[in-house]
Structure 1
């Protein structure tokens, strides 16, 4: 059964009434209801279209007691015309296994909302790369404090997963997708930088893709400065300091042997000022495990080339920082960069140190960084690919010159002939 095709079909019948994103939201609500109480849903599905909307609304109200966040931020189903909603209900009720709809909704949503996809989900490139780099996480406690629809975290088999997302509508949709998938997972809602909701003290693993180049409000800067995770205490947090605020945040959440994977824009690795002070701290305390340059198009919502910063509190003192260039790993497609299984194996080998290539990897000590660049951590500063230029032979160029001279003489003769008439 092609579950994506069914979601596209249901989205299409909502055309003219709702935008694709809103249609998918209501479709996910219907499927979540069917997942939670199949018997009651089937009874509703036997009704006529004039009765279905009210009966389904009553069902949602009853379910909210146990699944508050799943429906609290959901779009009201009454936004759809009665017959359209009935068509969705009729289509869903005959499908016995609803769990694959979770992944199908993820994929359709990515394509349906275009540039806004990054607000809801993670690119296919990152969905492959991050879990592969993390590896075996059994027995580890995982945090993703900017979880979106929690696709990355769901691909990592940790012993416990803590999620938080700032947007209520995204939290709600994510919770419904977990219900459809048959998983029990709570996602906290709120601003992680200012109001972390979890009770865990420290985590073994933090994997996050926060908003890139996030600009902070003046009031937010003042509040952040007083937060326990900020280790640059003698300087004000600038409005442009969002990227390195997240670095400090991740480090604070890690336990003494914890590891953090953080997607950032490259500017945070070479800008001066407050950013430079944070890098000084990272180098002085030997907290950088590796820096990985990623290709443009590897994120779903931007064409910039991001970087993966891997932080480690359990890193052996004196061990080098590994710089890796993955900017040409993967095949470029219309919707971004695709990472094949072969590409993935190669990329993981480069990052983990199983593969060394002079034009893609470099291990360098803190001392060398301090003596050469001060505190710069951008990959291009350390790995420079020499462009191979093949110069043509003298014989080839002489042949081209002779052909050009012959053509010139031919056209000159024709021109003179025309002028003489």
Structure 2
């Protein structure tokens, strides 16, 4: 096809009275200069005419993806191919008397065309990656990994074709030698191959995507994923440092992904407060009378008082504490907390909601609050959690309870007993 086009150009020049087989070097030089001028004119026509007109149309369109192509200058990259193609067609025609030089220039121009085409395709791939990021496709698929892999494949193809053009050999001749270099390729591109395989696993299982909050203590990562590439996953930690994690490490090692929390719309509060055992006691009648006026406990006291009264009437010697049932301050406090968090406007009632007593330890009796906030934003979540526990610490004395605090230095209570 290329040879046929050159013959047509040669015939066209002959019909116009141009001697395509000049008898001296001066005529050849003039034709070469004319070819250069023609290639420059073709470049200016494409760059300042066609490309500019297309950019104006793109700018006026309502679509967003074409603006990304314009910003990446994809059309401008392709415009560099036009003058090289013109020269590649004309030089062999005007330099028929200089076969070796014409052949060398023709090969160099062919390599230049390959390089320009690869650069233009690279720009188009970068634009496609930007479009995927803009449409949030990268949250579901590691588009950048596939783009980088295709770039790598395209680079090797371009190198092989360029070498075959310069050596005037078939590309198959060079491809046959790659089998010998397989071991070297596997060694040099080990991380790339492992990263590609890991990228496929990450995409298929939706293990991690851009924007996910992940924790991986082994690599000191605790933050948001900003980039998933062919070989690494870039994480911006909450202190604004960056952690680079090998892609295959996310498949082979353990890490925590908080995406489920974000998608559920609720963020968990799981924190306990330790109650001093010495402050736990049965409620007196005066305490019951006072606490029964608390809005969150009115229904609780009405139900519990009736239930306990019915039980105690059926028990002999109910005046003894050991035989009868009575309300405790810690049990009443738990009932208050359950009602308090249930009524809280920023706590999910359709998710797990617990206020439970954990096993007692040497540091007191832990009362744990296990609920989910409706606001998953970190700063708002911490504010909600802080407000709840501020209230818990402040309200404990109303129930006659104390927070356990381990003594520092000499135990003051032991000094009092000794005295």
Using the size of structure 1 for normalisation, the TM-score is: 0.22
Tell me which structure has the larger Cα radius of gyration.
2
**Structure having greater relative contact order (Cα 8 Å, sep ≥ 6):** 1
The structure with the largest helix share of the pair is 2
